[in-house]
A = this chain, B = another copy of it.
Amino acid sequence: MARNASLSGFHEWLPQERLVEQHVLDTLRRTFELHGFSSVETRAVETVGQLLRKGEIDKEVYALSRLQDDDGNAAASAKADPSQLALHFDLTVPFARYVVENAGYLSFPFRRYQIQKVWRGERPQEGRAREFTQADIDVVADGELPFRYDVELALVIAEALSALPIPAFKLRINNRKLAEGFYRGIGLEDTAGVLRSIDKLEKIGADKVAELLQTELGATAEQAAKALALASIRTEDTSFVGQVRALGVSNELMEEGLNELEQVIAAAVKSAPGSVVADLSIARGLDYYTGTVYETVLVGHEQLGSICSGGRYDALASKGSRKFPGVGLSIGVTRLVSRILSQEFATASRSVPTAVLVTLADDDSWTSAQEVAAALRARGISTEVAAKADKFGKQIKYADKRGIPFVWFTDDDGAHQVKDIRSGEQLPADPNSWMPPAEDLKPQILTA
C-alpha cells in the first residue's frame, strides 16, 4: 500500500492484495447466491440519454468516442448527442434498462446480483476512485413489489457485510415518504429541495442547513427547526416512531413512511442487533428513490463515507403503462478493500496459489516432473514445475522467494520426497496420495 496509482483514481492491486479482494468478491457471491439472487452483468456502456435520465450527475460521466471514425476522420466532440455512448456510473440504471429490455424472458419478482466496475470522472480523493467495483443486489417486480422486500434486502446485506473482514458497521435506514410527508405536514412543499439541504447536514452542520432552508426554500425559522428536529432522530429500535409523533405533525404519506420504517427496523434489529439504526437524517442524493433509503458506515471509519447504500425506487423502470418497481443496495467493494488493505484488517497468507514446486534433477526430467504435477493437481493441489534444472539450492530459493511452501524431489530411481521449506522437514511422499496440511492447500485470508 506504499505504492501510488500511476493514474490518479485508478487502483491496481498487487497479487497478494488481489487475493483479499477475491476473498471479498467470493464471499459476496456466495452469500447472494444462498439467498436466491441470480448473477447478471450488463455492458459497461449506456447511451448518454439513458444515463442522464435521472439525477444530477452529468459532470461525472466518461463519454466514449472512437479515436478515428470509419473514414479516418478525427472524432467529433464528446458533447451533447444523447445517443452517444458513455461508461456507466452505477449498476442500478443499467439494470433497470436490462429489466425493461428482457422483461419477456425474466420471471418476476426478479432477484439479481451484479458485481462490476463503474466509472466516475470525479476528482479522486480518499475513498473516492474514478474506477471502482460495486456489488449490487436488487429485487424488481412487474407491477407491485411487496414492501417486505425492503426488509429482506436489509437482512441479506447485513449478513453479507458480517461475513467480510471488516469492523462493526451501522446500517442507517430512513424512508423518503416519512420525510416528504413530514415536510408537507409542516407546509414545506419543495420536498426535494429540503432533502437536498438536509443531505448537507454532516458536511456543513445544522446552523448552516437552517439558514439554507430559510434563504433558499423560504422556510420560516420554525419550519426549519422542525425539519432539523426530524433529522436529529436516531434510534437503534422502533422508538423513533414515538419521537416523530412527539413533533406533532400529521400527514398521510408520513404515516405510511413511519409504518414502513418501523417494519424494516423491527425485523432488522432482530436479526442484526447493534448493526441497524433508524436515522432520519439520511436523504441519499439520487432522485430515483421513493421510499426506504439505506446508508452504511464502518464504526470508527465514518469519514470513509457510506460503504453500502441503496433504496426503494418505484419509478425507475417502465415500459408503456407497465411499471417495474425495485429495491436494492450497492456495496462499494473498492472502497472497502482499500480500507481493509490499508488498515490490515485482512492479509493473504501468501501471494501465489502455488503449494508445491516440483524441482528438476536434470533438464530431461521435465516431462516426468509434469506427470508428478498433474497427479498433485488432480487432487486440487496448485503445482508449478521448475523451468530449468538449476542447482537444488537455487530451485528452493525460487520457491522461497515466491512463498511456495513445499518443494518436491524425484531421484533417479523414481523415489519421491517432499520438503516443507519453512521447517526444513523432508519426507518420502507419493504423488498419488500426498496432501499438504489444509491451511497450506490454498492462500488463506488471515484477519487481524
Interface residues of A (CB under 8 A from B): 3, 6-7, 10-15, 18-19, 22, 33-45, 47-48, 58-68, 70, 72, 74-80, 85-87, 97-98, 101-102, 105-107, 109, 111-112, 117, 119, 121, 123, 131, 146, 148-149, 152, 155, 267, 270-271, 351-354, 366-367, 370, 377, 380-385, 387-388, 401-402, 404
A23 to B401 Cα, complex, angstroms: 33
A47 to B6 Cα, complex, angstroms: 11
Most B-side CB within 10 Å, residue of A10, A19, A64, A388: A64
A38 to B267 Cα, complex, angstroms: 42
Smallest Cβ-Cβ distance to A46: which chain B residue: B7
Smallest Cβ-Cβ distance to A373: which chain B residue: B35
The reply to whether A67 and B76 form a contact with Cβ atoms under 8 Å apart is no
Across the A-B interface, give the 7 residue pairs with the lowest CB-CB distance, nearest first: A36-B354, A15-B38, A36-B384, A10-B43, A74-B79, A33-B353, A66-B121
**The residue from B62, B106, B271, B381 contacting A64, defined by CB atoms under 8 A apart:** B62
Number of identical protomers: 2
Secondary structure of the A contact surface, majority rule: mixed
The reply to whether B270 and A383 form a contact with Cβ atoms under 8 Å apart is no
Q: How far is the CB of A313 from chain B (nearest CB, A)?
A: 17
Say whether, besides A66-B62, A68-B58, A354-B36, A45 and B270 are in contact (CB < 8 Å).
Answer: no
The reply to whether A14 and B102 form a contact with Cβ atoms under 8 Å apart is yes
Contacting residues, chain B, for A75 (C-beta < 8 A): 63, 77-79
Smallest Cβ-Cβ distance to A100: which chain B residue: B6
The reply to whether B15 and A367 form a contact with Cβ atoms under 8 Å apart is no
Q: How far is the CB of A59 from chain B (nearest CB, A)?
A: 5
Q: How far is the CB of A137 from chain B (nearest CB, A)?
A: 12
A68 to B385 Cα, complex, angstroms: 53
The reply to whether B12 and A98 form a contact with Cβ atoms under 8 Å apart is yes
A6 to B43 Cα, complex, angstroms: 10
Contacting residues, chain B, for A152 (C-beta < 8 A): 385, 387
Smallest Cβ-Cβ distance to A104: which chain B residue: B3
Contacting residues, chain B, for A41 (C-beta < 8 A): 12-13, 18
A351 to B68 Cα, complex, angstroms: 41
Contacting residues, chain B, for A11 (C-beta < 8 A): 43
The reply to whether A34 and B377 form a contact with Cβ atoms under 8 Å apart is yes
Smallest Cβ-Cβ distance to A401: which chain B residue: B107
